[in-house]
Amino acid sequence: MLVRRASDIKSSEITDDKLYLNRRAFLAGAAALALAPSRAAAAAPPSGQPLKAARNPGFAVEDPPTKFESVATYNNFYEFGVNKDDPARLAHTLRPRPWTVEVGGHVLRPKTYDIDELIRLFPLEERVYRLRCVEGWSMVIPWIGFPLASLIKRVEPTSQAKFVEFTTLLDPEQFPGQRKGLFSFSGLDWPYVEGLRLDEALHPLTLLTVGLYGQVLPNQNGAPVRVVVPWKYGFKSAKSIVRIRFVGEQPKTAWEKAAPQEYGFYSNVNPTVDHPRWSQATERRIGEFRRRKTLPFNGYADQVASLYTGMDLRKFY
């Protein structure tokens, strides 16, 4: 191997130190992205309080469930921070008890429910659903909860109710990502707000969720209660819900306000509609290396496509 003496190297051939450092930073970032799921899985979280629920075989998928360690340590939950491991690292700040959920708006029987009262009122069941993130990764998770429709029918929406609005807890003490500074994500206007059309909320697939993998919902996964809408991208599933409101106008959701050109109200999984910065045609299941084709409506087209008959799903993305 020929090694040149320093005195033989022209100054014009020397790599600029800023360029060299930027390249190192880029490579380090790329490596961190590639290793993120395996790194997260290495930090196995402890098991939580057991939560019994009967498996509902009518709501299952053929795919094997994702490892619990990955589901509990690789998350998007910006109230805790913008990195995938922030929720698992920082979730101890959340206090899921005592907790109440205010249900109101255009309903005949508005009420504020204690979370444990909600769990007692409705029979819990376990359902295995796919969850797909808009960034292109997916998981298969055995959720525990009850149909949102059960709660909706109990509070009796009036004819004025056209949409259902979900609001997450606003408390910077418990959610470091809501603070201004190191952990903040300035693109979102807190509190986090999401919404569904009333018929979407009433669909049998829409689950008000209080657990997963046979235990109560971990803080980093949206404790103590979240909604799961399996045919939509994951950000539609509002976490740590404190208010459910029935409204006449389409709610302005958190991501719509932050980036309306990227995140529409409907946010159905549609492989033919790309995100402005990446393709949605394929996805990577956490725990796998190969990419797989993205299924329309995340594989639930037979159950939900009729909700959107006659709609232009490119315009109403």
Q: Where are the chain's structural domains?
A: 43-308
Q: Write down the pLDDT at residue 187.
A: 74
- CATH architecture assignment, domain 43-308: Alpha-Beta Complex (3.90)
Rounded to two decimals, the pTM is 0.86
Helices (H), the chain: 17-42, 68-71, 86-90, 115-121, 148-155, 198-202, 254-258, 301-304
Cα 310 to Cα 317: distance, rounded to the nearest angstrom: 14
With residues binned 3-state (H G I as helix, E B as strand, rest as coil), the percentages for the chain, rounded to 5, are 30, 25, 50
Within a 13 Å sphere around the CA of 274, how many CA atoms are in the beta-carbon half?
A: 5
Name the β-bridge partners of 233.
Answer: 132
pLDDT digits (tens, 9 = 90+) for 124-176: 999 999 999 999 999 999 999 999 999 999 999 999 999 999 999 999 999 99
Q: Which residues of the chain have pLDDT under 50?
A: 1-36, 38-42
Q: Write down the pLDDT at residue 88.
A: 97
* CA-derived radius of gyration, the chain: 22
Name the β-bridge partners of 114.
Answer: 100
Count Cβ atoms below 10 Å from residue 13 Cβ, excluding itself. 8
Nearest to 308 by CA among 293, 272, 248, 317: 317
Cα 52 to Cα 129: distance, rounded to the nearest angstrom: 18
Q: Which residues have CB under 8 Å from 80's CB, separation 6+?
A: 86, 87, 89, 90, 91, 93, 175, 176, 177, 183, 220
DSSP, collapsed to helix, strand or coil, labels residue 256 as helix
Q: Write down the pLDDT at residue 22.
A: 39
The answer to whether residues 100 and 240 touch, using CB atoms and an 8 Å cutoff, is no
> Kindly report the CA angle at 283 between 278 and 287, in degrees rounded to 5?
130
Cα 114 to Cα 117: distance, rounded to the nearest angstrom: 5
